[in-house]
Amino acid sequence: MSSGILATCSRLGQSFWFVLRTLKAFPRRREHVKAILQQIYALGNQSMLIVFVAGCFIGMVVTLQGYMSLEHYGASSEVGGLTAYSIYRELGPVVTGLLFAGRVGSLLASEIGLMQINQQFVCLEMLSINASRLVLFPRFFAVLVSVPALNILFCLSAVMSSYLICTSALGVSDGVFWNSLEYRSLFFRDVMHGVTKSFIFGGVIAWVALYQGMYTEKTRLGLAKATTAAVVSSSLYILAIDYIFTALSRSFL
Amino acid sequence: MDLVNFEQVGLTINGRKLLSDIEFSMSKGEHVGVIGPSGAGKSTFLNLLLGFLSPTEGRVSLFEEDLSQVEVASLEDLRMNMGMLFQTNALFAEWSVYENIAFPIRYHYGLSEEIISNMVAMKLDSVGLRGAEKLMPSELSGGMARRVSLARAVALDPKFLVYDEPFTGQDPVTKSNLKELMMKLHRQYHVSSLIVSHDIQDLSEIVDRMIVIWSGRIVAAGTVSEVMNSSDKKVQDFIQGKLEMEQVQEKGDLLTDLIGGPHV
């Protein structure tokens, strides 16, 4: 029991130390900046389609469900605002985070884990190349900036799909939809709330995935475990942080 | 000038004494072998020498710099003078042979692609693989992959080459070719070398002297013939392959975990 607690504390300390060293490895050369741009493209741009499609479907589902509930109370004209409110504040950052954790978290953990198993980090160090600057920091930074950007994309696609459903299938007029949206959701209160959350989620995904990869057991099973742990842990952390953030914002706002 | 110097070095991790009382030095131009059975402490010795581990006792110097005192940036400068051949080759699987060798040259020297291309061709020629630029690591045989790894190890024209188990997993013909190639490279690039291996016969053909590590201690040191004729029973048992399992300490797993882990 006590050795288990000790091991958990030790891993926690190790992961804090790891993320601090990664964040300290700022780019110093052209190659490092190039690596950051490559990672933003590989991790962020390559996730745009999946996020856009997910946003469309979720926007449509929330609109239909909301419309059915609101119609019951004679408030169907509020559907645009309600959809936007829930997308901006909760569904956007959480679903984007979970999708990103599934796609990129597993990718990063397995990539870094395989590099570690094949001694490629030691190889880079022996070639006098700082692996943290060239490999770890660019990935961390790319995830950190990609998740908020993808969250915005998700929100836009969800709101646009909601608009299309409302105006084409539910008989809500343009003016009513946009008026409700403008009235219900505020830029700083709602949009920035979601963006801030997604920024934190990005940090969590990068931290968990890179750490799991870096400290993977050097076996085939170890790598599989690390990949699974990266996705499962970061997804659970996202949900837990979402609750804490929402509870705190309710207290302070 | 001492390239490497171990002064009364000891290392204890989690209460386990992995190395103790290591006194070792090697000078420029020397070719030294480090041998011992699996789990004897060879990898720990190597990790200390490369600066991936810090000793808990004593001092390790590389190019006359105390490794416990050097900053990360200085350590990177020191490693510019070193090349390493890995047991796993550590080639980047998604890059071609050309890219694997060109990468460190491009990263450090920022030369034009034409000059880099000539340099890569020269390095590949020196390991007998001219024309293999476009091959991917997955298309190489074990021997070829090792030679590509060797070409990358000398890509930055190092003064000091470190080999980690270079003969492991090689067939006799490839092994013989590899030994010849290593000696040729040593002459061609005027490098010093340290070769870690558990194969005393292969090692004896290419080194000037060797040390035998056993249970974390140096139990024999000297020229090849001095070690071969050592009166120490452990050394004789090891040479004749009579090593009993209980004589080998179970440290292998811990050390494998350490290399390339916490230092990055």
| B239: in domain | no
Q: Identify whether B40 is part of a domain.
A: yes
The mean pLDDT value of chain A amounts to 91
CB-CB neighbors (< 8 A) of B86 in chain A: 119, 122-123
Mean pLDDT of A123-130: 92
Integer-rounded Cα Rg, in Å, for chain A is 21
From residue A184, give the alpha-carbon distance in Å to each of A64, B2, B65.
18, 75, 66
| B165 and B108 in a common domain | no
CB-based contacts of A236-242 (< 8 A; 24+ apart in sequence): A237/A204, A237/A208, A238/A94, A238/A97, A238/A98, A238/A101, A238/A201, A238/A204, A238/A205, A239/A94, A241/A197, A241/A200, A241/A201, A241/A204, A242/A90, A242/A93, A242/A94, A242/A197, A242/A201
Give me the CATH number covering residue B18.
3.40.50.300
Token pair in block for residue B227? 């070690």
Q: Which residue among B134, B157, B180 closes a domain?
A: B157
User: How close B222 gets to chain A, by Cα (Å)?
Assistant: 28
Alpha-helical regions (H) of A73-219: 79-86, 92-100, 106-117, 120-126, 131, 137-168, 174-184, 192-214
The whole-angstrom separation of Cα A146 and Cα A48 is 10
Q: Is the same domain home to B111 and B151?
A: yes
Spans of all domains in chain A: 2-252
Q: How far is the C-alpha of A16 from the C-alpha of A22, rounded, in Å? A: 10
**Are B90 and A116 an interchain contact pair (Cβ–Cβ within 8 Å)?**
no
pLDDT of A199 over the 50 cut: yes
The alpha-carbon gap from B73 to the nearest alpha carbon of chain A, in Å, equals 9
Cβ-in-10-Å burial (0-12, 13-18, 19+) of B149 comes to buried
Which residues in chain B are closer than 8 Å to A118, comparing Cβ atoms?
88, 90, 93
B163 in the same domain as B152: no
Work out how many domains chain B is built from and give that number.
2
Q: Is residue B250 part of a domain?
A: no
**ipTM for the complex?**
0.85
Q: How many CB atoms lie within 10 A of CB A229?
A: 19
**Residues B199 and B102 placed together within one structural domain of the fold:** no
Searching chain B, which residue's CA lies closest to the CA of residue A116?
B260
Taking residues A117-146, report their average pLDDT: 94
- The reply to whether B46 and B165 lie within a common domain is yes
- Is residue A186 pLDDT above 80, yes or no? no
Residues B50, A126: C-beta atoms closer than 8 Å: yes
DSSP state of A29: S
Q: How many helices (H) and strands (E) does chain A have?
A: 12, 0
| Closest in A126, A136, A218 to B79, CB measured | A126
- Kindly indicate the confidence band of residue A190, based on its pLDDT and cuts at 50, 70 and 90: confident
**Searching chain B, which residue's CA lies closest to the CA of residue A19?**
B264
Please give the pLDDT value at position A1: 63
Tell whether A3 lies on the interface with B, counting CB pairs under 8 A: no
Q: Average pLDDT of A199-206?
A: 96
| pLDDT tens-digit series, residues A53-75 | 999 999 999 999 999 988 888 88
Are both B209 and B116 inside the same structural domain? no
Residue B214, domain member (yes or no): yes
Looking at the partner chain, which of A118, A128, A136 has a beta carbon nearest the beta carbon of B90? A118
Are the beta carbons of A119 and B260 separated by less than 8 Å?
yes
Same domain flag for B70 and B198: yes
Of B108, B162, B264, the CB nearest to A121: B264
Asked if B12 and B42 sit in the same domain, the reply is: yes
| CA distances from residue B74 to A39, B40, B81 in whole angstroms, order as listed | 28, 30, 12
Q: Judging by beta carbons within 10 Å of its beta carbon (0-12, 13-18, 19+), is residue A83 exposed, middle or buried?
A: buried
Percent of chain A with pLDDT over 90: 68
Distance from CA of B105 to the nearest CA of A (A): 9
| Of the partner residues B257, B259, B264, the one whose CB lies closest to the CB of residue A214 | B264
Indicate yes or no: CB of A126 within 8 angstroms of CB of B82. Answer: yes
Question: What is the rounded CA–CA span in Å between residue A144 and residue B242?
Answer: 57
Pair (B170, B65) in one structural domain: yes
Residues B152, B189: one domain?
Answer: no
Q: Are residues B150 and B163 in the same domain?
A: no
Q: Is B249 inside a domain boundary?
A: no
Res B243: pLDDT: 62
Question: Which one of B157, B182, B215 terminates a domain?
Answer: B157
Concatenated DSSP letters for B200-230?
Answer: HHHHHTT-SEEEEEETTEEEEEEEHHHHHT-
Q: Give a yes or no: residue B44 inside a domain.
A: yes
Do residues A132 and A25 touch, judged by C-beta distance below 8 A?
yes
Q: State the average pLDDT over residues B97-118.
A: 93
> Scanning every residue of chain A, which has its alpha carbon at the shortest distance from the alpha carbon of B79?
A128
Cβ of residue A16 closer than 8 Å to a chain B Cβ:
no
**Claim to verify: residue B77 and residue B163 sit in the same structural domain:** yes
Q: CA A149, CA A143: separation in Å to the nearest integer?
A: 10
Domain that holds residue B98: 91-157
Using left for φ > 0, alpha for ψ between -120 and 50, and beta otherwise, residue A196 falls in: alpha
Phi-psi bin for B254: left (phi > 0), alpha (psi -120 to 50), beta?
alpha
* Nearest by CB: A131 against B86, B103, B264: B264
